[in-house]
Amino acid sequence: MAAQTEESDCAREQTKAEQDVDQVRQRAARDQQRLDSGAVTSPKDLSNLQHEIASLAKRQGDLEDVVLEVMERRESAQERVNELTERVASVQSKIDDATGRRDSALGEIDAEAASVTKEREVVSASVPADLLKLYDKLRGQQGGIGAAKLYARTCQGCRQELAITELSEIRSAAPDTVVRCENCGRILVRTSESGL
């Protein structure tokens, strides 16, 4: 935006400078026409007219230098605008690509979430109501994880190794008994890798 504003300002400045040059050029042409026509006969007036034509020529040269300097600045600003426009287009392309990939990933996640929700409904229908209620309560307290795998004598929920006495109690408990971690309170899921 700043580069575009700078280019626009240079364009206005160039237009004004070119108009100034044109006005000086027209005035010099009128004075030269008066001088060439012979309408001015007084030597003093002729001298003044010649002096003014010389002054206008110098002024025209100075103004043309200003126009050239402004044109160079404008060209530089236009190059900057073009460069930045290309960079913006490149970044926008990357944003569009990332947005497309994000939307695709979100679609996949939504589909997976719907599938898992259906599976959960099927599984939760076979779980006793009191155990499901305990699980949902723990899940709410423990950041969404109500049960954790017991792996190599370590609760995978809190990552704490269980005490030997606790492991003995779990080892002696019936397979269908609900056991919980003393550290985090989550339901422990026992497997052959539990280290019991």
> What's residue 36's pLDDT?
78
Quick one: 16 and 82 in the same domain?
yes
Structural domain includes residue 54: yes
Quick one: 97 and 179 in the same domain?
no
Structural domain includes residue 10: yes
Quick one: 66 and 140 in the same domain?
no
Quick one: 139 and 102 in the same domain?
no
Structural domain includes residue 22: yes
Structural domain includes residue 20: yes
> What's residue 101's pLDDT?
96
> What's residue 88's pLDDT?
92
Quick one: 137 and 92 in the same domain?
no
Quick one: 82 and 178 in the same domain?
no
Structural domain includes residue 117: no
* Domain count for the chain: 2
Structural domain includes residue 122: no
DSSP of 102-147: HHHHHHHHHHHHHHHHHHHHHHHHHS-HHHHHHHHHHHHHTTT--E
The residue out of 106, 138, 160 marking a domain boundary is 106
Cβ-in-10-Å burial (0-12, 13-18, 19+) of 181 comes to buried
Quick one: 79 and 143 in the same domain?
no
Q: What is the mean pLDDT of residues 36-56?
A: 82
Quick one: 91 and 160 in the same domain?
no
**Domain extent at residue 98:** 2-106
Does pLDDT of 94 surpass 90? yes
Q: Give 127 or 41, the one with higher predicted confidence.
A: 127
